[in-house]
Structures are given as structure tokens and as C-alpha cells.
């Protein structure tokens, strides 16, 4: 335990500092301070020793020089045991506590300060004091976060004005992270001023996951330290621990819904939506999403963009006497859960129930970490650049369905094709999808096969099933994430009954593709915007 008899306080963020300093003073601690901090404390009636009386030098150059000195540096850095005699001979009295947060560079940057103003917001003396105190944590405590004041005061009160080594070690680590983040922000900002992009990222709060992508791999989940909002901040309400793959699949599920405007549900398998639907009723959206691929929905991740109701989760039949009727899913994630819905879902002891709002997933940038390298890009949040009909047949696409289809194909891994429709009840539904294939023709074939299977499942048994399928396929819109390189995709889509195709355009063979669509009587719309996702 180290008794706090002498403290140096110099803060830009004055939050809570008066109460903190007053408590130190009541415990008999001498307080040394500088400039604006000294004035705030003295105006509050707290006795303060001016920094100049310690350094023997004036505060100079508009405040650029205050704490940088042999006296302050020595008072923080000397070893209290082996250097005690030398310190005494040099007239150095120890400083036991540094309370310091740095010039508000981030705020100046956020306000659009120019280079000269940014330079004036670069702290020099503060980081020096913080790092010196942190290095000598064996004898000195350092506080950089006003949020630590209450706990620190409690510890001082409980220990007769002393702080434990455990606390000093924790504060030391926080201090070095603080100065590292501060310097990283300055460096990247100044690089930006020079027109050069540089990126420095820091992550902490590591949670160990059940395992990585496979059971023999360790996996961890960390939070970006300076992120105002983070996927890490999810609230796990129930179920087994989450694995690496759970985190990836759940993120894909939330991404699928982040800009849906009505009740929406996504069914995710291996980071791709195998089911997706939106409409006026949450339960119906779930039913249509599940119907998109009932087989793949087994062991899936289910996401909603609105508070989950009991009527919705009854669909899973978790309490059915016939266990074969119970629908097995890995995770249900939503912005919230009605209490009775949460109680019902908890009937499945291993089901992960996670609270997170997909609307919070609006990152400005996407990043992929490769070995010793980083890929960095704008997030794909757009849908189309234009809607240009390029064929003789001019299809009328429901604007809601157009928006839904583009958001669906945007979420699928390339090469991506999907088919969407408006159901008789007015719900947008992903009827079929094919993705992650080496060529676009494979993806188109997979999509059409899935559509056919789902329509057969929906057929009520009346009339000719082939007529039913063709009638519904004619009302279904096929979407492609990138241009069609050859007319063959149009040919097999037409053969399956598709009459409307939406694609970005931009191929050298666009005229051939459009010509084939005109020959077959297929309407085609160009959007001018590709949506590759790798």
C-alpha cells in the first residue's frame, strides 16, 4: 500500500475534479496544480501549491511550458528505496499521485480545426507526466479517467489514504493505453492532413469464445476501444456460450435487417440469408422467411428488427409433445423481447437469446484483416444508382419489392443471384437464392431450383402444379449482384418462368444480354450499382 501524501492535478476534462480534490485535501494530501486546473480548484476553496513553486520556473509560452522539468520528472520517477538518498540530496520530494487527462485533440478534430489549431491541441507535458507515473507504478498512482474517481476515493477512505499495488497496476495499464490512443489519433490525423490514409486500431475487453471456427481453434471476441457503439455491446440473455461462427452468423443476420423499414426476419445459415421476409406482421414475416428454405433453417440464426412477441415465437413449437415438431435454431437475436416471449424461448436451455438492434450496425468503413495487412473500404449501404429499363418489355416492379430484392442480393456472397416476390398477403419474400459459386450460371440454377421447390411446398394441391409454379414465377423478380456476362443466365431464367430481371449492367456483352431478353420477352432493369460481397 502506498500512502497518497502529495498529488499533482492537471486536467483538461474538469468533470468531478473539485469533489475529488476536496476529498484528497480532507485526507491531508498536498495538491499541486497548473494553470486552469489550479484556478478551478482555488475558486472552489481548495488549497493548491502552484507548479512554479515546485519547478522553480514560471509557466511560460502561453502554457506550452508548465510541468516539463527535472523536478517534476524526478519526483515521479525515482525509486523510493534505492534512490531515496540521492533524491533527498537533490531536494526532490516524491509525488504519489498524478491526475491528468490530456488536451482535447479529438474534440478539436471533430470540430474541423485547421492544422495550426490542431497543433495547439497536442499535449506534451501531460503525456510525459502520465507515462512517468505509470512507469513508476510501484510507488506512484496515475488517474486519466474521471470515471475512476469514485472507486479510488472509496479505496483511499477504506485504507487510510493509501492505494493498493493491484489498483496502481490497473491504473498504470489504463494510462499507457490512454497515451497510446492519444498518440495514434494525432498521428493518423496529421497523416490525413498530408492526404495520406493511415489506420491504427486498438481492441480490449477480450472474451474467450467456446472455440474458433473449429473446435481445435481458440477464439476471442474483443471490443474496439474508441468505438462509440459496438457489436460487442450485445446483451446475451440466455443459452450456451457463443462461438466464433455464432458471432459471424449473427452479424450477417443483423446486417440483413439493418435498413429494413417494416417488420422483417432473416434466417441465416453460414453467414448467408437462406430466408428473408418483410411486412406488416412479425409472425408472418418469420413464417415466410422460414419457408424460404425450411431444411437449411435447421440450426440457423434467426434475427428480427423489432421487439419479439409471444405470438411470434409460438411458431417454434418448443413445447410440442411431438418433439419432431420442435424447430431447432441456434440463436434468436432482436432489439428486444416481450417478457412472455423470453420465458417461452427459455424452454430451450441451450438456445442463445441475444438482445441487439440491427439498426445500430451503420459502420462507415468495412475492414478485413489479412496477414500483416488490412483491407479498408466504405461500407456498402447503398442499393441502386438508377433504375433504367433497357428492354422493350417495361416491367412494373413494386418499389418495395425492388428495395427488398436489392438489399437481399447485397447480403449474399458473390456470385449472388436471388429471386423475390410479393406474396398474396403483401409480404416481400426471398423465394430462392444461390451464392458463393465460381460462376454466375451455377448461382442462377441454384436459385431457380430453390424457387421451384418452395412453390411446390406452397401449392395447395388444387389444379396443375406446373401451372401454379409458372404463374408464380412470372410474378417473381430475379436479382443479380453483378452484371450477366453472357445471355445464358437470361435463357435459363426464362425457361423457369422468370419474366423480370434486375441487374447492375456494365458488361461488354450488355447488348447481347438485352437482345436475348427482348427475344424471349423478358423485362430487364439496370441499377448501375454492383454488390459484390466476399
147 Cβ neighbours under 8 A, 6+ residues apart = none
Secondary structure of residue 310 in the 3-state scheme? helix
216 Cβ neighbours under 8 A, 6+ residues apart = none
Secondary structure of residue 43 in the 3-state scheme? helix
Q: CA geometry: angle at 128 spanning 125 and 131, to 5°?
A: 150
For residue 230, which of 201, 259, 209 has the smallest C-alpha distance? 201
Secondary structure of residue 204 in the 3-state scheme? strand
Secondary structure of residue 131 in the 3-state scheme? helix
Tracing cell 486519466 back to the chain, one arrives at 144
- Tell me if 335 sits within 8 A of 305, measured CB to CB: yes
Parallel, antiparallel, or unpaired: how do β-strands 203-208 and 162-163 relate?
Answer: unpaired
Catalytic-role residue among 135, 165, 174, 238: 135
180 backbone dihedrals φ, ψ, rounded to 5°: -65, -45
DSSP assigned state of 69: S
Catalytic-role residue among 5, 270, 327, 413: 270
Catalytic (active site) residue 121: no
Catalytic (active site) residue 413: no
For residue 352, which of 245, 479, 192 has the smallest C-alpha distance? 245
Q: For the stretch 151-183, what's the b/e string if a residue is b when 16 or more beta carbons lie within 10 angstroms of its beta carbon?
A: ebbebbeeeebbbeeebbeebbebbbebbebbb
For residue 329, which of 374, 297, 376 has the smallest C-alpha distance? 297
What whole-number distance in Å separates Cα of residue 297 and Cα of residue 208?
Answer: 27
**Alpha-carbon distance values, 340 to 135, 236, 237, 336, 345 (Å):** 53, 17, 14, 12, 9
**Which residues belong to the active site?**
135, 270
Amino acid at each position: 500500500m502506498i500512502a497518497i501524501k502529495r498529488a499533482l492535478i492537471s486536467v483538461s476534462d474538469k468533470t468531478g475534479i473539485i469533489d475529488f480534490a476536496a476529498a484528497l485535501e480532507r485526507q491531508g494530501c498536498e495538491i499541486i496544480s497548473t494553470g486552469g486546473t489550479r484556478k478551478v480548484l482555488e475558486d472552489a476553496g481548495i488549497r493548491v501549491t502552484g507548479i512554479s513553486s515546485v519547478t522553480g520556473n514560471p509557466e511560460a509560452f502561453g502554457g506550452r511550458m508548465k510541468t516539463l522539468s527535472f523536478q517534476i520528472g524526478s519526483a515521479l520517477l525515482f525509486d523510493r528505496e534505492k534512490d531515496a538518498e540521492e533524491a533527498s540530496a537533490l531536494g526532490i520530494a516524491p509525488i504519489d499521485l498524478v491526475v491528468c487527462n490530456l488536451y482535447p485533440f479529438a474534440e478539436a478534430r471533430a470540430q474541423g480545426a485547421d492544422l495550426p489549431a490542431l497543433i495547439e491541441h497536442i499535449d506534451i507535458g501531460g503525456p510525459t507526466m502520465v507515462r512517468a507515473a505509470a512507469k513508476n507504478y510501484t510507488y506512484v498512482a496515475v488517474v486519466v479517467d474521471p470515471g475512476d474517481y469514485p472507486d479510488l476515493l472509496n479505496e483511499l477512505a477504506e485504507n487510510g489514504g493509501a492505494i493498493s499495488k493491484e489498483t496502481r497496476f490497473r491504473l498504470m495499464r489504463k494510462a499507457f493505453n490512454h497515451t497510446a490512443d492519444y498518440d495514434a489519433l494525432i498521428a493518423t490525423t496529421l497523416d490525413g492532413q498530408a492526404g495520406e490514409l493511415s489506420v491504427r486500431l486498438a481492441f480490449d475487453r477480450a472474451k474467450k469464445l467456446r472455440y474458433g471456427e473449429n473446435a481445435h481453434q481458440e477464439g476471442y471476441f474483443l471490443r474496439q476501444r474508441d468505438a462509440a457503439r459496438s457489436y460487442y455491446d450485445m446483451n446475451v440473455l440466455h443459452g450456451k456460450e457463443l462461438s466464433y461462427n455464432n458471432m459471424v452468423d449473427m452479424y450477417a443476420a443483423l446486417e440483413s435487417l439493418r435498413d429494413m423499414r417494416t417488420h422483417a426476419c432473416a434466417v441465416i445459415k453460414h453467414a448467408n440469408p437462406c430466408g428473408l421476409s418483410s411486412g406488416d406482421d412479425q409472425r408472418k414475416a418469420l413464417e415466410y422467411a422460414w419457408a424460404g428454405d425450411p431444411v437449411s433453417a435447421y440450426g440457423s440464426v434467426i434475427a428480427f428488427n423489432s421487439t419479439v412477441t409471444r405470438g411470434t415465437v409460438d411458431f417454434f413449437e418448443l413445447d410440442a409433445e411431438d418433439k419432431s415438431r420442435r424447430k431447432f435454431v441456434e440463436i434468436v437475436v432482436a432489439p428486444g423481447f416481450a417478457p412472455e416471449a423470453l420465458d417461452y424461448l427459455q424452454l430451450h436451455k441451450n438456445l442463445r437469446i441475444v438482445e441487439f438492434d440491427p439498426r445500430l450496425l451503420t459502420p462507415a468503413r468495412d475492414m478485413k484483416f489479412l496477414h500483416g495487412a488490412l483491407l479498408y473500404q466504405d461500407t456498402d449501404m447503398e442499393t441502386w444508382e438508377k433504375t433504367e429499363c433497357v428492354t422493350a418489355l417495361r416491367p412494373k416492379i413494386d418499389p418495395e419489392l425492388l428495395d427488398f430484392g436489392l438489399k437481399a442480393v447485397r447480403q449474399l456472397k458473390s456470385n449472388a443471384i436471388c429471386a423475390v416476390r410479393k406474396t398474396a398477403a403483401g409480404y416481400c419474400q426471398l423465394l430462392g437464392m444461390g451464392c458463393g459459386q465460381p460462376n454466375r450460371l451455377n448461382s442462377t440454377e441454384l436459385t431457380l431450383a430453390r424457387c421451384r421447390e418452395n412453390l411446390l411446398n406452397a401449392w395447395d394441391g388444387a389444379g396443375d402444379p406446373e401451372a401454379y409454379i409458372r404463374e408464380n414465377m412470372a410474378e417473381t423478380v430475379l436479382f443479380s449482384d453483378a452484371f450477366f456476362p453472357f445471355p445464358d443466365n437470361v435463357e435459363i431464367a426464362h425457361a423457369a418462368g422468370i419474366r423480370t430481371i434486375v441487374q447492375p449492367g456494365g458488361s461488354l456483352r450488355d447488348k447481347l444480354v438485352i437482345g436475348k431478353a427482348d427475344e424471349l420477352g423478358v423485362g430487364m432493369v439496370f441499377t448501375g450499382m454492383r454488390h459484390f460481397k466476399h
